[in-house]
Structure 1
């Protein structure tokens, strides 16, 4: 049975997503208007409320992320609420125009055409256009990250302009408080998240090569360390060194070990321009760290567990094993393309040899998706087992389907993704 804290985390975002926009609608619900015109007003307020929720869900604050069920969950809902808000705001002028259609098609067209309206109405269309561009970048993964960040910022600008649009139309209450809240959220994210005022200072103490395409970076705190536990990840921005040029942007990295003095070890695999550059990082480089976030096994109980890792996705499991001996039977299925690509494989074999609770199944799969039906335990062996998955999104999705086909319920399959676009 779920604990009260877990239940709160599970329902926190859905309740927030419902209460804020419905509260706006309840406050501004129109009376005595034609149905279509009333619908236009309602959809406008629903869109405003959902946009405010979407903004809140993009904050990178560890405590907020904990109460809302994790940063990755927040980003999923951030995308959903943003898209639904945009659809509601598109319906807003369409419903208003449809309300005028019976009286005059020309009047209906004038309601939709910015060319026939005042600059106050123009501001609303500009806000919608900026929202459209910002949303388009969200679902275009091929865009370079630096460019994506700036284009995605148009979402926030579009929200502010949309609220100014309401003020220009003479709707001051409750728009002014909403505008202040939106500006506060955007400023908070810019200062504490993007510019790193919430980050703690660290320095690269050592670098260890794991494979030709991955390294382990040891970070030592220069002040109070971040609060983090095994299985979590942190957001890190690396500075410049004598021979190393940092990206200057915060990226998520999973912790592979936590030392008693607060030092962190991070596993980094070359997956893009920034991480490829980190293969040549050197001791002495300054770093800023925000976290910790997530926790793949944070709510693990005493039940037997199945861990399935793909490639660098083995890192959170390594962190848990570095904490000490296991308390329950664990089977680790570690999938990698070639043995030369397998991070931490020697360490895992040594731990499995010394800890009878750990059963290691290490499999080189080549470049194709592995035969999961052959590799996964039989249905009878999965009864009462908690399954934890970490790896590429395609592999995790395939594992979910395969485990579901073996009768494992969704609440017993746990995973995290690290895509924060």
Structure 2
């Protein structure tokens, strides 16, 4: 990728976040109104634009994710734009009410109180309440997946009802095109993402235990294989088998290696009910695959690299090492609780002994957080080095802080976050 293309991808989502809501305001800018009333209307249009951007950013399309810098980046901006949209839409009726304070507080309250207004105003408040219910899922990441999914359905309903609120008020332009776009995005996500129309069919060919709590599953394609490169991850839904019951939902798994026939090898660690059940998965179970997405290595082939992996997070680095020989110096800092929990450790040691470009630093940390300050190279040794991270969120956050303290700029730190809620 050229530097210009890389910059364009980096700025793609911020530009989209600005262009869409500002375009709505330019289309329907209020003229000749009092300043507070005009501000309330502008806030409403800005909120509508940000909501449309937020909907677009929740699509799970590999090509779109490639254009916008990765699925993890899209989901981060999806959360940000959704929250900003809700704040602006909440300011919309507040500013309209404030514009009537000059007449009397009672008049201002009538603007806010749905009980004194007609159904078009009621629909606006209903849309806001549904958006609030949907946003609960953003601030409660520990809730069960089925509850989170229900709340997100309410968020989508809130978007549609909020747009119908404008139509009921007699504002057809540009609301009808916005409503059509929102319905198309929601339908696209439902059909291609949630129902899996975009998924490719696979079948479990083999399953071998890596450790007591992890397994490597080989998926053989039953049709055209998914387009995946080493270090990427895929979204997989496993079906039912004679002695296995699938979870009925898509989960992200990193590809540990690719077969010439398109077979995907996935490393799975038991971190929850669904992945714990996968420890007993057997050949013959069907699967659906969407992807591939992302990859913590980014566009970093030419420069020396530092790889920091925690536990199952070593998988994308193993995939790259399986795919080709290194062309630049790479130091892999692999952190795990104990050797019994360390997947691919013997393979990595064999690779490091035969590849002069690879330096392996394998550390058993026990149950205590690792001392990254004592394990990472000093600032001088990190000059011009691209740093790639993969592992638990706590490790990634600590590594970011430690690298930043050594003068490593954020653009030289690459990682993926697999929490897509």
Counterpart Cα distance in 2 of 1:380 and 1:35: 56
4+ residue segments displaced more than 3 Å: none
> For structure 2, which runs of at least 5 residues remain unmatched after alignment?
none
Whether 2:211 is the aligned partner of 1:196: answer no
Residue of structure 1 in register with 2:254 after alignment: 254
Counterpart Cα distance in 2 of 1:298 and 1:394: 21
* 1:138–1:152 Cα contact (<8 Å) kept: no
Cα deviation, 1:319-340, whole Å, max 9, x if unaligned, reads 0000121111110000001111
Counterpart Cα distance in 1 of 2:328 and 2:114: 65
Residue of structure 2 in register with 1:266 after alignment: 266
Counterpart Cα distance in 1 of 2:385 and 2:8: 24
Counterpart Cα distance in 1 of 2:8 and 2:298: 15
Counterpart Cα distance in 2 of 1:168 and 1:324: 60
For 1:85-100, list aligned pairs within 5 A.
85-100=85-100
Residue of structure 1 in register with 2:336 after alignment: 336
CA shift, 1:394, in A, is 0.9
Residue of structure 1 in register with 2:117 after alignment: 117
* 2:298–2:414 Cα contact (<8 Å) kept: no
CA shift, 1:2, in A, is 6.0
Residue of structure 1 in register with 2:403 after alignment: 403
Aligned to 1:10, the other structure's residue is in SS state helix
Worse overlay, 3-12 or 172-181? 3-12
Counterpart Cα distance in 1 of 2:222 and 2:147: 32
Residue of structure 2 in register with 1:291 after alignment: 291
Whether 2:173 is the aligned partner of 1:173: answer yes
CA shift, 1:146, in A, is 2.0
Residue of structure 2 in register with 1:161 after alignment: 161
* 1:231–1:298 Cα contact (<8 Å) kept: no
CA shift, 1:407, in A, is 1.5
Residue of structure 1 in register with 2:29 after alignment: 29
Count of equivalent residues:
421
Counterpart Cα distance in 2 of 1:410 and 1:188: 34
CA shift, 1:380, in A, is 1.9
> For structure 1, which runs of at least 5 residues remain unmatched after alignment?
none
CA shift, 1:295, in A, is 2.2
For 1:49-88, list aligned pairs within 5 A.
49-88=49-88
* 2:53–2:81 Cα contact (<8 Å) kept: yes
Cα deviation, 1:276-313, whole Å, max 9, x if unaligned, reads 11111111000000001002223113211110000100
Cα deviation, 1:359-407, whole Å, max 9, x if unaligned, reads 1000010112111111111222111111111111111111111111111
* 2:297–2:415 Cα contact (<8 Å) kept: no
Counterpart Cα distance in 1 of 2:82 and 2:298: 29
TM-score under structure 2 length normalisation: 0.99
Residue of structure 1 in register with 2:209 after alignment: 209
Counterpart Cα distance in 1 of 2:31 and 2:150: 41
Counterpart Cα distance in 1 of 2:92 and 2:248: 40
* 1:203–1:220 Cα contact (<8 Å) kept: yes
CA shift, 1:103, in A, is 0.7
For 1:336-375, list aligned pairs within 5 A.
336-375=336-375
Counterpart Cα distance in 2 of 1:144 and 1:198: 25
Aligned to 1:100, the other structure's residue is in SS state coil
Aligned to 2:292, the other structure's residue is in SS state strand
CA shift, 1:248, in A, is 1.3
Counterpart Cα distance in 1 of 2:234 and 2:139: 24
Closer/same/farther in 2, CA of residues 2 and 394 from structure 1, 3 Å limit: farther
Whether 2:124 is the aligned partner of 1:137: answer no
